[in-house]
Structure 1
Amino acid sequence: MANIKSAIKRVRLNQDRHALNAPVKSEMRTNIKRVESLISENNAAEAKVALTQAIKKIDKAIQKGIIHQNSGDRQKSRLTKQVNQLSA
């Protein structure tokens, strides 16, 4: 455990931020997995609906600074590409 006052505060702030960020990141991952499972089931119609929801969650995570802009863009691009190939 940290002894210095600033280090103690830093630990506390990190825990607080983790508590706020974890549910957002978990929800984002859940939505991504939902899209991937629908793609593996060849369910194009529901995959498109789930994709829009996943993109919203990814954008929200980017906006809150939980994931990097490029990482989110890459995830959105790959999911969209897979859904488009499924419906083509």
Structure 2
Amino acid sequence: MANNKSAKKRIEINKRNRLRNKYYKTSVRTLIKLFFANLEIYKTSQTVEDKKKVQDILNSVYSLMDKGTKKNIFHKNLAARKKAKLVASFKAS
């Protein structure tokens, strides 16, 4: 347990940051899974509605990855690599 005021403050700050980091990381992971699930649906149907849905999910992933990178939750190269992988799989379909 913390013995002084600054140590107690660091514990609170670490808890706040851990929750923020967890939110971004789990949200991105969930959206990526959703993206690939909808991409498979789009590959079989090839409808405009499915393509728009996949594109909207891709935009959401981009937004969260960029915000997380700006807040030093994700490394910039990791974000770039994941985004490139996603857009490459979308273009291949």
TM exceeding 0.5: yes
What is the alpha-carbon distance in structure 1 between the residues aligned to residue 56 and residue 3 of structure 2? 51
Q: CA deviation at 1:7?
A: 4.4
Aligned to 1:36: 36
In the alignment, is residue 65 of structure 1 matched against residue 78 of structure 2?
no
Letter in 2 for 1:75: K
Q: Report if aligned partners of 1:35, 1:50 keep a CA contact under 8 Å in 2.
A: yes
TM-score when normalising by structure 1: 0.77
Where 1:65 maps in the other structure, the secondary structure is: coil
Q: CA deviation at 1:24?
A: 2.4
Coordinate RMSD, CA, aligned: 2.1
Letter in 2 for 1:84: K
What is the alpha-carbon distance in structure 1 between the residues aligned to residue 9 and residue 56 of structure 2? 43
In the alignment, is residue 16 of structure 1 matched against residue 16 of structure 2?
yes
Work out which of the residue numbers 25, 28, 51 in structure 1 matches 2:58: 51
TM-score when normalising by structure 2: 0.74
What is the alpha-carbon distance in structure 2 between the residues aligned to residue 74 and residue 30 of structure 1? 17
What is the alpha-carbon distance in structure 2 between the residues aligned to residue 33 and residue 21 of structure 1? 19
Q: Which runs of 5+ in 2 are unaligned?
A: none
